[in-house]
Structure 1
């Protein structure tokens, strides 16, 4: 999210540390810079990426994606009635995402991967850390800070996934049916990002919540990049 998005949302800049959106934009810029240094994404950008690289990426992502709906469901159960809107949003989100890993599995098989081997796979170092953090945070009372996690994860789907898919297709000659998971998330995560922005601008987020959201975004940005850096480890 850029400062342009902040203005478009009708949020006036504040004194001091700036608005929540501006602080999140800084986290996003740091993430983009780190992603540009991830080896597999560098190879994707310069056109030297291989089919095996893409297969490894899907293999590693699947082990974390399968945990997505469960930690969102845990978060939903951790919100009390005073946070009804957030609980309801989390329930809807978990329902929408609980089959996402099946799309990824189909893409993996479509490029020659073994479904049995994929399902026997284990999380890499970064995915272990990311999933552990998400489940721990989701179990805390009223985990409002997880909106920062959603800012990062849904933002990657909305802003980067389709571009990655198109580049894999361009370099490797892949069909749409082989990059469906990434292409799907452009539209789906854009809708989720819109829902999240509505919550962030609704007036229910106080200063302490904002600090928690930014901190969670920082941690998740680092751990998400780490799982891309540590493929197969």
Structure 2
């Protein structure tokens, strides 16, 4: 069973937080380099993306987003009373996200997709790997490392989703109602990243937890890129 200190010393806490932010920043930089090589995002950047590309992206994102609230709920159940703040945060987060897949469904139908086909779809190889990893990790005792997963997933929503939405609109002439999922997550995930930053700098994270957070962020970043790359696999 993995356990973590719920607090660090007053002197150590700022140092741990600074080091953690620096390490996570390196993970994020590498993630952005990998995203630049994702085929659908390259086409989006150079203006050759098609409406079929956008539908395929929504189709694949929906299959993974459906699992988001369940794995967060499982993580909440895995925190003991010594990690009450993290359990409470996970419960709130799961409640906020459990309807997110419905926004994708509406966007998908709005650009000509079939709701029945979308709901009958399955995860691609990357999504299977990502969801499997998240559910496995969430079931571990006190899965503090999942804060690294949140850093990646919420960071993508807060920092990249709105830009992707605007570019899809620019190239394909889409209305706001057809990119609602991506636009919504700029604000919603910015709020989530703010809450995450408060936890990371609160003194609850010790060196061992920081190591697990960074490692989880590295794994999730790689699997998320795989999900975006393997759209038809």
Asked if these proteins are the same fold (TM beyond 0.5), I'd say: yes
CA-to-aligned-CA distance 1:195-233 (integer Å, 9 cap, x gap): 000000000100000000000000000000000010010
Residue of structure 2 in register with 1:209 after alignment: 209
Residue of structure 1 in register with 2:229 after alignment: 229
CA-to-aligned-CA distance 1:20-58 (integer Å, 9 cap, x gap): 000000000000000000000000000000000000000
Residue of structure 1 in register with 2:113 after alignment: 113
Residue of structure 2 in register with 1:102 after alignment: 102
Q: TM-score, normalised by structure 1?
A: 0.93
What is the alpha-carbon distance in structure 1 between the residues aligned to residue 14 and residue 224 of structure 2?
29
Alignment of 1:39-188 (within 5 A): 39-188=39-188
What is the alpha-carbon distance in structure 2 between the residues aligned to residue 36 and residue 232 of structure 1?
19
What is the alpha-carbon distance in structure 2 between the residues aligned to residue 12 and residue 53 of structure 1?
45
What is the alpha-carbon distance in structure 2 between the residues aligned to residue 141 and residue 180 of structure 1?
36
What is the alpha-carbon distance in structure 1 between the residues aligned to residue 103 and residue 181 of structure 2?
5
SS of the residue corresponding to residue 19 of structure 1 reads: helix
Residue of structure 2 in register with 1:20 after alignment: 20
Is the 2:13–2:203 Cα contact (8 Å) retained in structure 1?
no
Residue of structure 1 in register with 2:219 after alignment: 219
What is the alpha-carbon distance in structure 2 between the residues aligned to residue 12 and residue 220 of structure 1?
25
What is the alpha-carbon distance in structure 2 between the residues aligned to residue 122 and residue 81 of structure 1?
36
SS of the residue corresponding to residue 228 of structure 2 reads: helix
- Off by >4 Å, runs of 4+ in structure 1: 11-15
SS of the residue corresponding to residue 96 of structure 2 reads: helix
Residue of structure 2 in register with 1:7 after alignment: none
Instruction: Extract unaligned runs of 5+ from structure 2.
Output: 1-11
How many residue pairs get aligned? The number is 221
Is the 2:27–2:217 Cα contact (8 Å) retained in structure 1?
yes
Q: Which has the higher contact order (CA 8 A, sep 6+)?
A: 2
Is the 2:13–2:201 Cα contact (8 Å) retained in structure 1?
no
Following superposition, the deviation at residue 12 of structure 1 comes to 10
Is the 2:13–2:206 Cα contact (8 Å) retained in structure 1?
no
Is the 2:14–2:203 Cα contact (8 Å) retained in structure 1?
no
